[in-house]
Amino acid sequence: MANSSEAVKEAIAMQAEAVEDVEAAEVEQKRGASSVSIDLLIDAVRKEREGLDKLEEGIEVLRSSLEERRHALDRQNEILGQLVIDFNQAGRT
């Protein structure tokens, strides 16, 4: 799985390409080339969807990372709690 920053960069690039396709479609429509305009718009929609998929991939990577960090913090907290108990018991004896 790609890291989140790579996925976001790819999504941004796809969005930029989609914007270019929409702009080109507008020009072609004004020229009367409706079939070219339709193809460009279909391509723009495809790129936008792929970009959204990449963003979702990046979000999933971040979500997974957050979950792993939460588990690590929970484990550290458990260890710390046990060390405090052990320390207190050692101080009493």
3-state secondary structure the chain: CCCHHHHHHHHHHHHHHHHHHHHHHHHHHHHCCHHHHHHHHHHHHHHHHHHHHHHHHHHHHHHHHHHHHHHHHHHHHHHHHHHHHHHHHHHHC
**85 with 45: CB under 8 angstroms?**
no
For CA atoms 70, 3, 18, 38, give the dihedral sign.
negative
Give the tens place of pLDDT for each residue, 27-70: 988 888 888 889 989 999 999 999 999 999 989 989 999 999 99
pTM attached to this predicted model: 0.67
The percentage of residues in the chain with a pLDDT greater than 70, rounded to a whole number, is 97
- Predicted confidence band at 2 (pLDDT cuts at 50, 70, 90)? low
